[in-house]
Each structure stands twice: as structure tokens, then as C-alpha cells.
Structure 1
Amino acid sequence: MKKMRDSPTKTKTLPFSSAAPMPLVAIIGRPNVGKSTLFNKILGVKTAIVDDVPGVTRDRNYADATYLDRKFRLVDTGGLDLSSSDGMLTLIRRQSELAIAEADILMFILDGRAGLTPPDHEVVKLLRGVTKPIFYVINKIDTPKAEPLIADFYQLGKSELHAVSAEHGIGVSELLDDLYPLLPPADETTELTQLPRIALVGRPNVGKSTLTNAVLGEERVVVSDMPGTTRDPIDSLVVHGDQRYIFTDTAGIRRRGRIEPGLEGYSVMRSLRAIGRSDVAVLLLDAVEGVTEQDTKIAGAVLKQGRACMLLVNKWDLRANDAEARQEYERELHRRFPFLTWAPVLFGSAAQPDSLHQLFPNINTVYASFNKRVPTGALNQWLQKILESHPLPVRKGKPSKTSKAAFITQVATKPPSFALFCGHPQDVGPSYIGFLEHQLRDAYGFSGTPLRLLIRKK
């Protein structure tokens, strides 16, 4: 066993790589032994939600990291409780078993304070046929007085045990030192690419996790009829055709007054952050329940953060036999989302992936609009044609002498932002700005993305 010392880890979170798959290191163990705490400590950021309540982590939570310039993928898993017959715990166990199957290296975390327990022995039995490298990590050894607690774990028959305190970072560097020789050398020619980030957002139980599994073609995240199943935002690499995306499954966002403090509060906060770091937000709506006030608030959060957006009316298979259902729903969308008339709408069912054949074409169109840049020359030719029929507003009683002297340029993308320079910006009101935005969309096809138009003094 390595001597413990307190030293910072040398890892950082990285975007997904375009190179060959990196080694996958899975953190496993029974509930509440500190898996998510160690996951966060190795990454150096609080990616996974941590709480003293068992069963907080439910899905496989992936993140890319490096240690001394060698890259690997780390996955946090839900607690392995092989004796439980509880429905949710069974689903969580299934996710952990999938992680064990796909991993290249395993870190088996045990609770040093609790000692070796019967559930730990059950996990050991599960691992007996596994030929992959396994690190036996004794967590919560945070003081020299706690070191004698390690003795209990030698009955596992393992010659090397790693004593750590994930919370305080003690022993984590030594653990990574032993992991280091198993990682492939860094490839100096490897380039990291910025892939389109797609966030699946909506109220609880509208089908976000089902859609994630549908686009992946595997049981990537836990799916249950119980609202609030997803807690951490879960990133998944999705390949469709020759294009790669990062899909983020987020926790359902309930009305503020109904959000319980603690775990749910953290989950909702992380969902909102996931929207902010995405390029495109796919807002899922329930075909049966219709559009609710909370749906409009979530859409408002997407718009406030300047993200591209498309609407997916999920569970449409339940209303497929209603001939007038689609027209009724479209009218409801226009009434509830007057500020999102530019967002594409897709009707389908995540439970029937064949109905979602237009999902990726719509995402590609919206993402292209989100990144579109219009040359300044073409913009000003467009503006002069507009001003000929719709001059800039002027103060009452003053002739319009500055309309044709106005100038426009695009100043940013993600979302596309424009600056209009004129003589009297204070005279240009919201109605005229809205008119220009509408004309911009018609002329350049900005589908699914918000536009920002800034009026500045020439």
C-alpha cells in the first residue's frame, strides 16, 4: 500500500477527442462509499452531484481527463446493491454492470469507516471473472489514526490496497501514479474538436432519457416512469452519419415553488447550466398533457441564455389516431410560444425512433443558423433595400435625412448578433427592431436561433 500524502491531482476536464477511443476507467462500488466524490476529485471540478443519501448517482456519468499528459475517460456509476429488489436500484445496478462490461480499467471503491460488508463481498464475487485491471480503493482514510481500518480489507486476498480520502484528496495522486502506466502515451498530433452540444430539456417525465437512449441505440441512461429519475446532466457522444455530437440528458425542471431543496435543487441548477453550455436546446413537450406554463418558462430560460432551440412534441404515437390533434397542438404552440415562432417543431415519439428521422436534419439546420455569419457588404445592400421602403423612425416633426447613412455589421455568432449604426438610435424602438429581425430571418434563413440586434450611435 502506498504511503499517503496530501497533494493536488494533475487532471483537467477536456472536450471529446476526435482520435481513437481513450481507455475507459470505471469507478464502481456499493452505494454511498464516495464514488462521485472521487470522480469529482480526479477531474478537479464538481461534475457529479454528491450527497450523503445513497443512490444519488443513477446514470453512467462520463468525463474526459488527463494525468501527466496521458488521456483517459472516467465514468462514475450508481451504487451496486446486488441484493436489492427495488425497481429503481435494479435499474441503477444495470447501469453499473454495463459500465463494468465496457470499461478497460476498474476502480472498486470501499468504505474504510464501515469496514468490509456483505454487499462488498457480493461485488467481489461479481468481479471474480473479470480479467481487467482492478484497483481496490479504501476510501475515507483521512487521518493517520484511521489507517488501522485498512487491515480489515486484506481478507480480500489483494496484496495492494490504495488508501485515499476522496473528500480531502489524500492518496489520490498515488492512485493515479499507479494508473499512469496503464494509459497509452500522449499523441502529440491528436487534435481536440469542438463538437455541437445538444441539450435535451423539459419538465420531468417528458421522455428526455428515452430520447437519449434512442439516438444512442443503447441503455445509456436510466429510464423510469418515476419523475426525477435523471439527476446529473449526462453527456453522451452520438455519431450520426459522418457527424458527431455531444447530447446532454438533463434533469426535469419543475416549477420553482415545487422544487425540493437539496438534491432536486442541485439537479435543476445543473440543468440550467447545461443549457448555457449547449449550442442547441431540444425542448421536449408532452403530446398528451399539452403545453404548460412551465414549458414556457423553460423556453424562456433557453432564450435568456441565447441558445438555439427546436421543439419536439414527444409521445405523439399516443395521439396518432386523432386527425385534428396536430392542428390543435400547433395552434396551442403559437399561443403559448409567440416568442419562439422561429423554432422548428417536430412531432414524434422517442419510444419509436423511426418517427424521429427528421431530428438530426433539424438539429443540423438549427446549428448552422446558430453559427451563420453574413458578410458586411451583403448586409448593407440588404439594409439599403429595406430603408427604401421602411425608413428608420425619426423624432416627430424631423425629416429623415440619416436613413441611408445607416450601417450594419455582424459582430458575433452563437447567437448571431448585429450592430446597426445610425444617427439617432434613441428613435429606433422595439417594433422597428422586431421588423428588422423578421426581415433578417426571411433574407438569410436564421431558423431555430435567436438574433440580437444592437442599435448604436454612428
Structure 2
Amino acid sequence: MSSQPTLNSLMSPMPLVAIIGRPNVGKSTLFNRILGSRTAIVDDVPGVTRDRNYADTNYRNRPFRLIDTGGLEPAASDGMLALIRRQSELAIAEADVLILLMDGRAGLMPQDQEVIRLLRGTTKPLFVAINKIDTPKTEVLVADFYQLGIDSLFPISAEHGIGVADLLDALYPLLSDQQDPEEQNPVPRVAVVGRPNVGKSTLVNAVLGEERVVVSDVPGTTRDAVDSLATYEGRQYLFTDTAGIRRRGKVDRGIEGYSVARSLRAIGRSDVAVLLLDGEEGITEQDTKISGLVIRQGRACLMLVNKWDLHEGDAQARQRFERDLKRRFPFLTWAPVLFGAAVKPGSLRHLFPTIDDVYASFTRRIPTGELNQLLQTILATHPLPSRKGKPTKITKSAFMTQVATRPPVFALFVGHPENMTPAYLRFLEHRLREEYGFAGTPIRLLVRKK
């Protein structure tokens, strides 16, 4: 069994295999076992998984997309359990193949029978796996589940991998034998980041036009970094809804610690970070720290001030907020700022065009000849810092080339790198932005000996 737990090809028509079942039967453990990596957060506490979690993998060279779901509680009618149930129902609706997982050690529970009754009407292939069967003594526990009237049961141990290959062998004929087509056009990866409860999941649902992730007023609802594919005017974007990042001293060990780590990893593998700010509460110190995490990982960034519908009728509110932005984010002046409300998708009409502009800057490459023409123009009026008061030759005194994109990185070759000052490098960065834009992306300047 081999796995490639990436979502680069979310747009490919691969079979969808959903793992469903009541809470705490080991769905995320099985999800991780099939992928061969710790992609989903696992804990003994019921209800850890809340959103649908997707990952691409393959078995015996046949690709498929695996979906991990929250625990299915048929009786749940309100609160968080009802929201989780809704996500499970959506996964069942979109899946091509279903794996129903039950807990062999706990035995057949009334909730299991309720789930079976919910699935009676589906015509989709259903594979019933009995988990936590990891010793000869526990094999007899499978007998209790035959009263469901299902002929084929698959005893497995998701934690130890026992029986998982047999389950996948049974699924194998339903998997496509076509390999994923290689991507012709890269899909921008967009991570939605911010403090807890600023509206990240609501924003993702708004751009997708569906209930992709669980939304609740309870801070910390989102735990996994959840990837979703959005399409705008024929172009596709991979959005990642991340867990809210609190101050380090307030982060609990365990589930929340894993969630924050996943959020940081999601930022690192994104192209563009949408930093969501709370238009009602205003800017906090934690917002500036999160923006620092984005910059340190070299990601492009734009800021979206959410809940701006609450300021309707206040003509001065935007000017006050923009002044506060300049004061709190002096290091992020190159990041575009949008105002809107995730609960009103019509107010987000500038989001995708801005993401396109930022992504274009993030991936832009300037020809070396053009770059050095600009450099010589700069040196004619602002020569390189001199050594011990001696003037530096203007012509042929420096050479610049772009050595990387994502983000743009420039190497400046000079005779005396030790003379370069931070102020002069900031000046060069300002001129590069003035000439080429580079909206929303950090720029890195490397000084090297000529």
C-alpha cells in the first residue's frame, strides 16, 4: 500500500471513499492508517473530528480520495453534534463508496443500528468494518455484528494495520485504474488564518457556496486544517480553513496544540494567506503575531476585515480602522486590505481578484537585463554605501538577478557586502515595489560578494 496524502489534484475525477460511523470508533485512526501518515488529529475524546477531512491516496496504483468524517449521531438535533452530523450526511451524499466503522470491543450499540437504518436506502457500495480486533481473543466479538444482516464484515485493527489490506482489496475493483492527470495549471493554495472565532469557517463556506466546514459561535470549533476546492470565473483555488491561533500561553496541550501545529503547517504549504481580522473587536496583539508567522514562512498575504456589516452607517469607521492598521502593521504595508462580511457573500466580490493579483506577484519573475537597467538607474542617484567615506564607483559596481519566486528572492552582488546597510536594502525593496508592484508578497534581498 502506498500513499500520497496531498490535495494537489482535488479537481481530478477520482472515486470518493468516505469513512463514517458513530463517535470514537477509530475513523481518524483508520484514515491515517490508509494514508500512511498522521493527517487527521486522533484523540480518545469523542468528537475530535468535526469537519470533513479530505486526502488523496492510492492503493495498488489506483488513486482515490479518502474522506474522514465526524461521529454520526442520528439522534442529534441541535448544538455541535448536530453540526457534525450534518457534515457526515454531506460526506455520505457526495461519496461513491462508504466504509462504516464500528467498535468491536464496545459491541453492537443502538447508535450503530440507527446508522445502519439511515443507510438502508442508499444504493452506494457499503463496506462494514469492525475495528479494534487485534488479537485472536477479540475475533469472537465480530459475531455480535452479524445480527445486522450484513454478509461480509471486515475485522480490522486501524491502530495496528491488521485487516486493513483485506478491506482495501475488497474496495479495489471499485477504484479507477486511471492515474491522476498531471496538473497543467498550478492551483493557488489559499490559507484562511486568524484568531479563534473571527469567521474563518464562515468565510470558507461563503466562497464555496456550501456548508463545507462546521460553523459555530464556540471558539475552537475548527481543529483540522480542512482543504476545499473553489472555482471563480473558471479558475480553481484550494482554500484551507485553519484552526484559530491563540497566544502560546493560552494554548492547551493535546488536541488544541495539534490544531495550532496543523494551522502553522497549512500556512507553510500555502501560496497566499488571508489574514482575517475582526471588524467588531478591532486589531489585537495576537493578530500582529499571526501576521509575523505568515511573513516568517515567506507567504503572500492579504488582510480581510470581517464583520464590517456591523459598521453600516458609520462613515468614519473605515478611516479609523485604516489608521489603526498602519499603526499596528507597519511591516505589512504591502498587503492589500479588504473590508467585508463573510455572512454576506456579496460583500466579498473583490476577494478573488485580489487573490489573483497577490498570487501573480508571489510567482512573478523579472528578467535579469531589465532588473539591472533599473539597478543602474537607481545607482546613478543613490550610490551604494561607501567604505570608510570613500565613494563607490557607479558603473559596474553591482549586479542583481532574481534567484527564486514564491516569494521573489533577489541576489545583489557587490564588491563589499559588509558595507550594505539595512536602510539601503529597504530603499532597494521600496524601488522594486515602486517599479514592479509586488502587491501582497514579501521580497527577500540577498547580498553576495561580487
Q: TM-score range by the shorter chain?
A: over 0.9
Q: Does 1:119 align with 2:111?
A: yes
Q: Does 1:78 align with 2:70?
A: yes
| Aligned-partner Cα distance in 2 for 1:15–1:58 | 19
What does residue range 1-400 of structure 1 map to in structure 2 within 5 Å?
9-17=1-9, 20-187=12-179, 190-192=181-183, 194-400=186-392
| Aligned-partner Cα distance in 2 for 1:50–1:38 | 10
Greater Cα offset, 366-375 or 15-24: 15-24
Give how far 1:158 is off.
1.0
Structure 1 runs, 4 residues or longer, greater than 6 Å off:
none
Q: Is the 8 A contact 1:28 1:76 kept in 2?
A: yes
Identity across the alignment (%): 69
Q: Is the 8 A contact 2:15 2:175 kept in 1?
A: yes
Using the size of structure 2 for normalisation, the TM-score is 0.98
Q: Is the 8 A contact 2:380 2:394 kept in 1?
A: no
| Aligned-partner Cα distance in 1 for 2:182–2:415 | 47
SS of residue matched to 1:11? strand
Q: Is the 8 A contact 1:406 1:421 kept in 2?
A: yes
RMSD of the alignment, in Å? 1.2
Taking a change above 3 Å as real, the CA distance of residues 258 and 360 of structure 1, as seen in their structure-2 partners, is same
Q: Deviations over 1:319-355 (max 9, x none)?
A: 1211100000000000000000000000001100000
Q: Is the 8 A contact 1:15 1:192 kept in 2?
A: no
Give how far 1:390 is off.
0.3
Taking a change above 3 Å as real, the CA distance of residues 437 and 242 of structure 1, as seen in their structure-2 partners, is same
| Aligned-partner Cα distance in 1 for 2:55–2:420 | 47
| Aligned-partner Cα distance in 1 for 2:3–2:320 | 52
Taking a change above 3 Å as real, the CA distance of residues 18 and 74 of structure 1, as seen in their structure-2 partners, is closer
Code of the residue aligned with 1:430 in structure 2: it is P
What does residue range 401-420 of structure 1 map to in structure 2 within 5 Å?
401=393, 404-420=396-412
| Aligned-partner Cα distance in 2 for 1:362–1:346 | 9
Q: Deviations over 1:283-307 (max 9, x none)?
A: 0000011110000000000000000
Taking a change above 3 Å as real, the CA distance of residues 404 and 16 of structure 1, as seen in their structure-2 partners, is closer
SS of residue matched to 1:12? strand
| Aligned-partner Cα distance in 2 for 1:434–1:321 | 40
Give how far 1:86 is off.
5.0
Q: Deviations over 1:239-270 (max 9, x none)?
A: 11111111000000011111111111110011
Give how far 1:11 is off.
2.6
SS of residue matched to 1:146? helix
Using the size of structure 1 for normalisation, the TM-score is 0.96
Q: Deviations over 1:9-34 (max 9, x none)?
A: 33322443376521111100000000
| Aligned-partner Cα distance in 1 for 2:144–2:284 | 55
Q: Is the 8 A contact 1:19 1:191 kept in 2?
A: no
**Which position in structure 1 is the counterpart of 2:416?**
424
**Which position in structure 2 is the counterpart of 1:5?**
none
| Aligned-partner Cα distance in 2 for 1:187–1:339 | 45
Taking a change above 3 Å as real, the CA distance of residues 192 and 167 of structure 1, as seen in their structure-2 partners, is farther
Give how far 1:83 is off.
2.3
Give how far 1:402 is off.
6.0
Greater Cα offset, 295-304 or 167-176: 167-176
| Aligned-partner Cα distance in 2 for 1:27–1:361 | 36
SS of residue matched to 1:342? coil
| Aligned-partner Cα distance in 1 for 2:12–2:422 | 50
| Aligned-partner Cα distance in 1 for 2:12–2:241 | 24
Note the residue ranges of structure 2 that are not aligned, 5 or more in a row: none
Q: Is the 8 A contact 1:18 1:192 kept in 2?
A: no
